[in-house]
Amino acid sequence: MANRVNVELKSLKELERELESLYGKAKMKRIVDEALIIGGNVIVQKIKSNFESFKDTGASKAEVKLSKPFTLNGVRTIKIHWKGPKERYRIIHLNEFGTIKNPNPRGKGAVERALRSGQEAYFQAVKQRLKRG
């Protein structure tokens, strides 16, 4: 069984500092990157399954891509985007938010639902990785 360390934390910044002192900056970056990729893949799969209900040509579903982890304003981030020959990135926001003529399309909120469900997968991945050490 792994050694347990009792620490009283008052903020997220304190937690980050404590984990970095325990594991080191480079290892924490690797752990966060692994968790971002795992959580990102879960979100991509959820987006694809949510898009099943209103697919026409399947281009929106086929063009969902996941970037590699990168730092944005000091925070490790991953980007889910649409890239492909049908250029679905131009119309994804119309499916997500609706238009004046069609304020409630069948796919409304599909991306947001996928993001919410993927958050838990990210936190579980971090937790599992920290347990492994």
The whole-angstrom separation of Cα 48 and Cα 31 is 26
> What is the reported pLDDT for 73?
94
| Higher local confidence (pLDDT), 42 or 96 | 42
pLDDT tens digits, one per residue of 52-87: 877 778 778 888 899 999 999 988 999 988 898 888
Angle between helices 12-23 and 25-51 (to 10 degrees): 120
Please write the tens of the pLDDT for every residue from 99-119.
Answer: 888 888 777 888 888 888 888
pLDDT band at 97 (very low <50, low <70, confident <90, very high): confident
Strand partners, 66: 80
Give the mean pLDDT of 23-34.
89
Looking at the predicted structure, is the pLDDT value of residue 1 above 60? no
pLDDT for 77: 92
Q: Is this model's pTM higher than 0.85 or not?
A: no
Over range 6-31, report the average pLDDT: 81
Q: List, as own/partner pairs, every contact residues 49-57 make where C-beta atoms lie below 8 angstroms and the sequence separation is at least 24, other chains included.
A: 50/107, 50/110, 50/111, 50/113, 50/114, 51/107, 51/110, 53/106, 53/107, 53/110, 54/95, 54/105, 54/106, 54/107, 54/110, 57/86
Q: Quick one: what percent of the chain has pLDDT higher than 70?
A: 92
Could you tell me the pLDDT band of residue 49, with boundaries at 50, 70 and 90? Answer: confident
